[in-house]
A and B are shown apart, each in its own frame.
Chain A
Amino acid sequence: MSALLQVEDLAKSFGGVAAVAGVGFHVNAGERLALIGPNGAGKTTCFNLLNGQLRADRGKVVLDGRNITGRKPRQIVRLGIGRTFQIARSFLSMTVAEAVETALDAATRHTLSFRRAPDASVRIGELLEQVGLQEQANRSVTELPYGDVKRLDLAMALSSSPRLLFMDEPTAGMAAADRALLMDQVSRIVERSGLAVLFTEHDMEAVFGHADRVIVMARGQLIAEGTVEEIRRDPEVRRVYLGRTEGAEAHG
């Protein structure tokens, strides 16, 4: 079976510092792939390259047989890749429902229209239900607790019915109990829709509990790839990353 997303030799430097130095991996359809690594490993840069926010110095990104290298973010989202953000707060002047409706309009290229899409309310309801925000529909985005901001971000990313979703630290900044809840929601969505997810995460519980496969980045390069069990046992990964964070989490 060929992969849904194939990344080859992706690289990006900022003023001589190689943030991403030749990274290659693939994401299979319907799979949850975790990208982990210490701070500054190049994970977010990698995401920004994949969704077109940054232009790669070299390398190739292929989605389902189609070369999408160098396309703009709005073109990439239309090809079926959604994205959530590390800092999720956005559209501060809107209510939850308005923000989702805007995302839906963007996905259906309805943004120059003067009329609401006829099925807007139904689809907003569906999306909010998927992430458990039905009750919050009419609240202002500014009033939401942070966990719900993350859920709204997820609902907006899902509005384009993507085949592949990038999630940049989906649980960062959330309380422990809420993290588990959110990751369970994500897993349910994945199972129901067959969506593939590529996510970065510092919370190892979330990674080991919810990833099908893990890739590890350090200093701009991939240093390991494998199943959750393989990565747990990998001595190199333990040395550069896990040993430290697991210890820190345990003490923290």
Chain B
Amino acid sequence: MGFYFAQALTGLASASSLFLVAAGLSLIFGVTRVVNFAHGSLYMIGAYVAMDVIGLFGKVPGFWLALPVAALVSAVVGGLIEVTVLRRIYRAPEMFQLVATFAIVLIAQDVAEWIWGVADRFGPRAPGLSGVVTIFGERIPEYDLFLIAMGPITLFLLWLLFARTRFGVLVRAATQDREMAAALGVDQAKLFTAVFCLGAGLAGLGGAMQVPRDAVTLTMDLEIIAEVFVITVVGGMGSIPGAYLAAILISELNAFGILILPEITLIVAFAAMAVVLVIRPYGLLGRPPSAPETPPGPGIGTLRLPAKVWFGLLAVMMILPFFADDFMTVLIIDIMILGMFAMSLQFLMGPGGMVSFGHAAYFGVGAYGAALLVYHLDAGMGWALAVAPVAAAAAALFFGWFCVRLSGVYLAMLTLAAAQIVWAAATQMQGLTGGDDGITGVWPTKLFSDGTAFYYLALSFAVIAVIVLRQATRSPFGRALTAARDAPLRAEALGINVQNQQWMAFTLAGTVAGLAGGLYVFKKGSVFPDVLAIQQSVDALIMVLLGGVDVLAGALIGATTFVVLEDVFNQFEAWRSMLGGVILLIAMLAPGGMAGLGTLIRRRKAA
């Protein structure tokens, strides 16, 4: 009895930090309609600043000073981000906003590493709260009780702010109806900045509060963001009480789930989210958006490469190995594999209108599917390559069923959560996957161990991917999918089962990603959990963005540019920031990607 009680208290204590971060994210989303990927970075900055303050002033009064200072610094950084980046992209499609805030994550990681170094830091216990109290015979850390109290206190203070102050009224007005609030003479720019500062400050405070409990690391930004996404989706985007409720629900499930499924607690959280979303698609306390979400709409132009161009490209690729050296051959194999991965995402995002932040899940399941078969069952390369797309298809069928019930940013957040589950499973199920050590020694058969032979294998797979995806886009399947994207209600009224159409598209995209993943394993000879990580998903998004989301071939252009850029940037220490900078530039200057640039220029000239 006492043990379960203690476990419940641990859950409540963990809920508080999560609630603060989720409340900030939700608040910012409510007013600006931007899902701030960089929210985890603000949380991380809060934690590091708190460590610095404690270092400067000692444990007393350092710790208690650290909480407000961390919140303040994060708020200022948040304000800077809003003014320099977000303000310029409020009107951009959701995908650009998400990717732009992810670019900030990349830059923040480099800056944090530069300021605070790579070593993990361990904070002191909170002064005055370092003891334990005994309840029901269980020893409960005093600091946990403090954290448990912080949740409702913050909730109450936020309620006061929104119910009793002019600022709060404006925020609520803007959350409910942005246009109306603007028409009433609210200075939107200032309001948005203020809300961003407040949300960022909450994240910073959340980070500082975790210092006595957890290590402060450079990876804590992305570690928390998936969980926070789950909480905001479960609680209902824009609802702060919903965020509290969901934070408690998810933390308690984690606290008890660890007793049942110690290896994969995220699965429990995901299952809870799935149940909630099936019953209440907009979360526990969320409301459906008042205006129908604007569909992604037509892109800059539905460019299609004529078959002639594809055949020309194929001819060039066929003779290329005769002219390229080994290094070039390997680089081009990389491009082909990542190009397949990016094309499958383009199909999902372009014709499908579904932005996935977790497409790596299917690439990774393909990769692990092939590797596990070789490693555990000693299967041949042929079998492994056949199983890779099938395994990915199964995963996409499963997760896609949930994802297509949502749209827009909700869908994006759910895909990310799904990918994090697979990632967690791969890192934690050590017996099966080798955990962080991965699976090594997965080499191609003798026939394909030669670089040139493998090149032609990859080329033939890429050709299959192009044919399948191109045909899918042009066929009745792809057109009905586009119809569902352009006007979902109309599509339903014509007899199209919109969710089913999207589900099948999700599965097809996953299958092709899995095929690419299978090839990837044999190219590298090994697989590690990072093929499933957020970074891998975002890489694919960047490729699609670089090339332009409206054209299948854009994904290939994007993959080529990405591989080359990465190769160049890798020589510098700050390559992540450089990549982030390029993404920000593209998101702000050329929303059609490189394939869209031509059309854009033509339009400008015509206008």
> Which A residues lie at the B interface, using CB under 8 A?
51, 53, 72-74, 77-78, 83, 85, 90-94, 98-99, 101-103, 105-107, 109-117, 142, 156, 159-160
Q: Is the CB of B480 within 8 A of A106?
A: yes
Q: Is the CB of B497 within 8 A of A74?
A: yes
Task: Judge whether B504 is part of the interface by a CB distance below 8 angstroms.
Answer: yes
Q: Is the CB of B490 within 8 A of A74?
A: no
CA of A220 to CA of B341 in the docked complex: distance in angstroms? 54
Q: Is the CB of A91 within 8 A of B475?
A: no
Q: Is the CB of B476 within 8 A of A51?
A: no
Given A92-B297, A114-B471, A142-B298, is A53 in contact with B479 using a C-beta cutoff of 8 Å?
no
Residues of A contacting B127 in the complex (Cβ-Cβ under 8 angstroms):
none
Instruction: Give the residue name and chain of the A residue nearest to B479 (CB).
Output: A102
A111 is contacted by which of B299, B476, B486, B490 (Cβ under 8 Å)?
A: B476
Select the residue from B302, B476, B483, B494 with max chain A CB neighbours within 10 A: B494
Residues of B contacting A159 in the complex (Cβ-Cβ under 8 angstroms):
494
Residues of A contacting B491 in the complex (Cβ-Cβ under 8 angstroms):
106
Q: Is the CB of A91 within 8 A of B483?
A: yes
Sample (10) of A-B pairs whose CB atoms are under 8 Å apart = A74-B495, A91-B483, A93-B486, A101-B476, A101-B479, A102-B479, A102-B483, A106-B495, A116-B476, A142-B298
* B90 CB, min distance to chain A CBs, angstroms: 22
CA of A113 to CA of B474 in the docked complex: distance in angstroms? 11
Residues of A contacting B489 in the complex (Cβ-Cβ under 8 angstroms):
53, 73
Q: Give the dominant DSSP class at A's interface.
A: loop
Residues of B contacting A93 in the complex (Cβ-Cβ under 8 angstroms):
297-299, 302, 482, 486
Given A51-B493, A103-B494, is A90 in contact with B486 using a C-beta cutoff of 8 Å?
yes
CA of A51 to CA of B489 in the docked complex: distance in angstroms? 11
* B131 CB, min distance to chain A CBs, angstroms: 53
Given A91-B487, A111-B477, is A83 in contact with B482 using a C-beta cutoff of 8 Å?
no
Task: Judge whether B501 is part of the interface by a CB distance below 8 angstroms.
Answer: yes
Residues of A contacting B494 in the complex (Cβ-Cβ under 8 angstroms):
74, 77, 102-103, 106-107, 156, 159-160
* B494 CB, min distance to chain A CBs, angstroms: 4
Task: Judge whether B472 is part of the interface by a CB distance below 8 angstroms.
Answer: yes
Task: Judge whether B187 is part of the interface by a CB distance below 8 angstroms.
Answer: no
Task: Judge whether B496 is part of the interface by a CB distance below 8 angstroms.
Answer: yes
State the interface size on chain B (CB cutoff 8 A): 26
Q: Encode B504-545 as 1/0 by CB contact (under 8 A) with A.
A: 100000000000000000000000000000000000000000
CA of A114 to CA of B491 in the docked complex: distance in angstroms? 18
Q: Is the CB of B298 within 8 A of A92?
A: yes
Task: Judge whether B492 is part of the interface by a CB distance below 8 angstroms.
Answer: yes
Select the residue from A94, A102, A113, A114 with max chain B CB neighbours within 10 A: A102
Q: Is the CB of A116 within 8 A of B493?
A: no
CA of A110 to CA of B479 in the docked complex: distance in angstroms? 11
Q: Is the CB of A83 within 8 A of B493?
A: yes
* A127 CB, min distance to chain B CBs, angstroms: 13
Given A74-B496, A106-B483, A112-B476, 8 additional A-B pairs, CB 8 A: A53-B493, A93-B302, A93-B486, A94-B479, A99-B483, A105-B480, A106-B495, A114-B476
Select the residue from B472, B476, B491, B504 with max chain A CB neighbours within 10 A: B476
Closest A-B pairs by Cβ, 5 of them: A111-B480, A90-B487, A93-B298, A105-B476, A106-B495
* B182 CB, min distance to chain A CBs, angstroms: 24
CA of A117 to CA of B504 in the docked complex: distance in angstroms? 19
Residues of B contacting A156 in the complex (Cβ-Cβ under 8 angstroms):
494
Q: Is the CB of B492 within 8 A of A72?
A: yes
Instruction: Give the residue name and chain of the A residue nearest to B472 (CB).
Output: A114
Given A85-B490, A93-B302, is A106 in contact with B496 using a C-beta cutoff of 8 Å?
yes
CA of A75 to CA of B497 in the docked complex: distance in angstroms? 9
Given A72-B492, A74-B495, A111-B501, is A91 in contact with B482 using a C-beta cutoff of 8 Å?
yes
Residues of B contacting A73 in the complex (Cβ-Cβ under 8 angstroms):
489, 492-493
CA of A127 to CA of B401 in the docked complex: distance in angstroms? 35
CA of A142 to CA of B298 in the docked complex: distance in angstroms? 9
A91 is contacted by which of B299, B471, B486 (Cβ under 8 Å)?
A: B486
Residues of B contacting A112 in the complex (Cβ-Cβ under 8 angstroms):
476-477, 501, 504
CA of A74 to CA of B500 in the docked complex: distance in angstroms? 12
Residues of A contacting B297 in the complex (Cβ-Cβ under 8 angstroms):
92-93
* A221 CB, min distance to chain B CBs, angstroms: 26
* A111 CB, min distance to chain B CBs, angstroms: 4
Q: Is the CB of B490 within 8 A of A90?
A: yes
CA of A111 to CA of B497 in the docked complex: distance in angstroms? 9
* A84 CB, min distance to chain B CBs, angstroms: 9
* A107 CB, min distance to chain B CBs, angstroms: 6
Q: Is the CB of A114 within 8 A of B495?
A: no
Instruction: Give the residue name and chain of the A residue nearest to B484 (CB).
Output: A111
Given A93-B302, A106-B480, A156-B494, is A115 in contact with B475 using a C-beta cutoff of 8 Å?
yes
CA of A102 to CA of B298 in the docked complex: distance in angstroms? 16
Q: Is the CB of A117 within 8 A of B476?
A: yes
Residues of B contacting A101 in the complex (Cβ-Cβ under 8 angstroms):
476, 479
Residues of A contacting B492 in the complex (Cβ-Cβ under 8 angstroms):
53, 72-74
CA of A72 to CA of B298 in the docked complex: distance in angstroms? 27
Q: Give residues 179-217 of B contacting A (CB, 8 Å).
A: none
